[in-house]
Structure 1
Amino acid sequence: MSRPILFVDRDGTLIEEPSDFQIDSYAKLRFVTDVVPSMLKLRDAGYEFVIISNQDGLGTDAYPRESFQGPHDLMMQIFDSQGIRFRDVLIDTSFPSQNAATRKPATGLVTAYLKDRSIDWSRSAVVGDRPTDVQFADNLGIRAFQLRTPQFGGEWDWAGIAHALADAPRIAHVERATKETRLVVDVDLDRTAEPHVRTGLGFYDHMLEQLGKHGGFALSLACEGDLHIDEHHTVEDAALALGQALREALGDKRGIGRYGFDGPMLAAEVTLPMDEAIASAAVDFSGRPFFVFDGEFRRERVGDLPTELVPHVFRSLCETAGLNLHLTVRGDNDHHKVEACFKAVARALRQALARTGREVPSTKGML
């Protein structure tokens, strides 16, 4: 069985890099935040680890090997005590001016690995803190993760890397631009996070945030729309873009609950109370958009959201997500009724989006 390898830089990646770039004393040994729990998660996901590091002039008078070896051995001992073991430790001791074939981003140190057919290269990756680590990954033809540091930039932390590699998250990034609106939406269906929504309509922001919060997925949505005309384009296009993001993140929908329940349930169905109001939502990620709404609102607006657009939000969401949604609401307070609608749909989505197996949940073999 093939196994993926994580090629990991040492200084600035496993342990913090000091200002003089040499970890030549025990006092300088500091571990990077979250490296141990993240590597344990990756280990449990089947990853093997290889350290590959440039140590400029190691073994010279300016950087004696004796000064290097003690802190390095302690680092290895600590990792080992936590259940993290390295398949190999590969160190290049040349200077940059020498242009050695073994110095990252060159691949000379890993020639044997390139010939190893037991490695799952499609899942293997490089983690480092410098642009040279990214170039090294490009030279190997595998994914790169550059850790976020003040010195070299980067956008990843260890927890995010472990999530990206071990959880195989269902993510999507959607950019949608028309003459009326410009939207950017990011979703991660396998990570919970505080939602961030900005449409220029405060109450609508609050309602869309309910979908992420109670739907159990990370949601970021930003919209610049023609609010000087009215709210319609912003409300509609935000829902369309979110539905597109959900559809793209789901891919072929393999392993999802689809309906949310095992047994005779025909859909993921949720009845949710909010004070005197109550809403029921039933969803099916069938790939066939359909929306049925049973309810009415007496107020023209709740906050800055026209109530006539509430059903339109869900109709638009269904259109691009390929979602079948039946939504019913009853109550006296329109604020409560609108919020109950969004929360009920969110809780139904949580069940339908959940991973429950490995198969496509359809006798047709596709959704």
Structure 2
Amino acid sequence: MKKILFIDRDGTIIKEVPPTYQIDDINKINFYPKVIFFLSKIVHELNYDLVMVTNQDGLGTEKFPEKNFWPIHNHILKILKTEGINFSSVHIDKSFPEEKSPNRKPGTGMLTSYLKNSNYNRSKSFVIGDRITDVLLAKNLGCKSIWIKEHHNNDQLTKKEEKFYFGKINKDILIKNVVVLQTDNWKEIYEFLSKLKETSKKFLVHKRTTLETDVKIIIRLYGKGESHVQTGIGFFDHLLQQISFHSLIDLNIHTKGDIHVDEHHLIEDTGITLGEIFYQAIDKRGIERYGFFSLPMDDCLATVALDLGGRSQLSWKVQFYREKIGKIPTEMFFHFFQSFSSSAKCNIHIHATGNNEHHKIESIFKAFAKAIKMSIQKDPNRKLHLPSSKGIL
């Protein structure tokens, strides 16, 4: 899901010019200090899509003709573009406040079409703007606000406007609940968003409980390969630890199941839960997507190729000559990877040859881990893009 910064223009990217607050002359363009430098770092380092949302009161009227607006607006975008700052979408409302248009901020009307076709993560998206209406827009979009707050008072509303915008909402409570950062410094905005990126690298917890099993998994996708695994089946624990160690994914897996019946439910449900949390944890923008690895282990050779393309499919070309390895029926290895493939929505091809059954399955798990590690690595040249010519995964 996308992380989006909905960014105001005047008073946020460029300075406003009282008393009209209209940027109708190229000489009025004055960028916020360091805004280009830090917006560029945000774009190149933090994987946000940028969407411009701006009210331009009376644009197209005699007092604010469009012929004065568009050359200046396009010039601003061109300057930003030279530093790699591209807005995926630009939304401009031309109405006056008294018209009470649903398209005017803080209304979301002008974003309707964009939001309909955009799968974005509200909890990780922000509105950045200088007016109280930008804070209200964040509330209406279901995300948080970064409030550009200088020592001027450009957010005063008339009593009619306050009643229209706020209704029974207490302004102070709104600010407390929606505003996560109040600043006039773009360096502080960059540092705030950078800290969120570090936080996103922390652990994710997922549970799955049925009448047959109870599975809890904690994962950190880009970790150090540390693990604590307890399923009640020693050899299965060992194999899951191999996934963690060789992929550098930190894993804490605790599974209880009806192994007094047999091992089927426990192994299958662990695979399902591991696939589910893996799918939740991964941000596919900028990843390599494909992973493949051939790994020898004495007489055995395992090859694993996978695609995190959103399609679930397992191709299994492995033959075992023993009924069990440790306490695990060999047929359950197919079910484990099939369960993972289905819930992680990925395509996996596994092929292994060899005589020693222990070496064969262990080489498969190690090769799988190496392929996973390759597939989730970030391509620095595609930080904002999904690795698909379709634009969707």
TM-score by length of 1: 0.54
SS at match of 1:286: coil
What secondary structure, in the 3-state scheme, does the structure 2 residue paired with 1:354 have?
coil
Please say if residues 174 and 186 of structure 1, whose CA atoms lie closer than 8 Å, have aligned partners that are also in contact: yes
The 5 Å alignment of 1:1-367 reads: 139=176, 165-166=197-198, 168-169=200-201, 172-251=204-283, 253-259=284-290, 268-356=291-379, 357=382, 358-367=384-393
Letter matched to residue 280 of structure 1: T
Q: How far apart, CA to CA, are the structure 1 residues paired with 2:208 and 2:303? A: 31
What's the CA shift for 1:171? 5.2
Could you tell me which runs of 5 or more consecutive residues in structure 2 were left unpaired when the two chains were aligned: 8-44, 47-129, 147-174, 181-193
Q: Which amino acid aligns with 1:256?
A: I
What do you get for the CA RMSD once the two structures are aligned?
3.6
Assess, with a 3 A threshold, how the Cα gap between structure 1 residues 139 and 284 changes in structure 2: closer, same or farther.
Answer: same
Percent of pairs identical after alignment? 34
Closer/same/farther in 2, CA of residues 171 and 123 from structure 1, 3 Å limit? farther
- Specify the code of the residue in structure 2 equivalent to 1:255: G
Distance 1:122 1:294 in 2: 49
Distance 2:295 2:256 in 1: 32
Residues 163 and 206 of structure 1, relative CA distance in 2, 3 Å threshold: farther
Contact 1:283 1:348 in 2 (8 A): yes
Q: Secondary structure at the match of 1:363?
A: coil
Residues 298 and 351 (structure 1), Cα distance of their counterparts in 2 relative to 1, 3 Å cut: same
Decide which structure has greater helix share. 2
Which residue identity is paired with 1:218? D
The separation in 1 between residues aligned to 2:281 and 2:294, in whole angstroms, is 26
Shift, 1:142, TM fit? 7.1
Q: Which amino acid aligns with 2:234?
A: G
In structure 1, how many angstroms separate the alpha carbons of the residues matched to 2:333 and 2:280? Answer: 24
Q: Distance in 1 between matches of 2:179 and 2:254?
A: 31
Q: State the distance in 2 between where 1:168 and 1:295 align.
A: 37
Structure 1: tracts of 5 or more residues without a match: 3-44, 47-112, 125-137, 144-161, 260-267
1:214–1:343 CA contact under 8 A, matched in 2: yes
Shift of 1:353: 1.0
Distance 1:365 1:295, change over 3 A: same
CA distance in 2, matches of 1:231, 1:205: 13
User: 1:193 offset after TM fit, Å?
Assistant: 4.0
- Give the aligned partner of residue 25 of structure 1: none
User: Is the 1:257–1:351 contact (alpha carbons within 8 Å) kept by the matching residues of 2?
Assistant: yes
Indicate the SS of the match to 2:289.
Answer: coil
TM norm structure 2: 0.51
| Offset, 1:140 | 6.2
Deviation at 1:330, TM superposition (A): 0.6
Q: Any conservation in 2 of the 1:170–1:249 contact (CA below 8 Å)?
A: no
Whole-Å Cα distance in 2 between the matches of residues 114 and 196 of structure 1? 49
SS of the aligned residue for 1:243 comes to helix
For residues 185 and 163 of structure 1, do their structure 2 counterparts lie closer, same or farther at Cα, with a shift above 3 Å needed?
Answer: farther
- The CA deviation at 1:195 is 1.0
> Closer, same or farther in 2 for the Cα pair 1:363/1:170, shift >3 Å?
farther
Contact 2:288 2:377 in 1 (8 A): yes
Partner AA of 1:363 in structure 2? S
Corresponding letter in the other structure for 2:391: G
Whole-Å separation in 2 of the counterparts to 1:164 and 1:192: 20
Q: Which amino acid aligns with 2:256?
A: E
Please say if residues 286 and 385 of structure 2, whose CA atoms lie closer than 8 Å, have aligned partners that are also in contact: yes
Could you tell me how far 1:354 is from its partner in structure 2? 1.0
Alpha carbons of 1:200 and 1:114: their partners in 2 closer, same or farther (altered >3 Å)?
farther
Matches of 2:385 and 2:197, distance apart in 1: 21
